[in-house]
Amino acid sequence: MIIKIAILLLFAVILGSLGSALFYLIRDQGDSKRTARALTVRIAVSIAAFLLLLLGYWTGLIEPHGVLPPPR
pLDDT in tens, 7-57: 899 999 999 999 998 898 888 886 778 888 988 999 999 999 999 999 999
Q: Which residue type sits at 50? A: F
Write down the domain spans for the chain.
2-59
Q: What's the Cα-to-Cα distance from 24 to each of 11, 36, 52, rounded to whole Å? A: 20, 9, 29
Average pLDDT score over residue span 63-71: 76
Neighbours of 17 (CB within 10 A): 20
Alpha helices, DSSP H, located in the chain: 2-28, 34-59
Instruction: Give the pLDDT confidence score for residue 71 in this predicted structure.
Output: 76
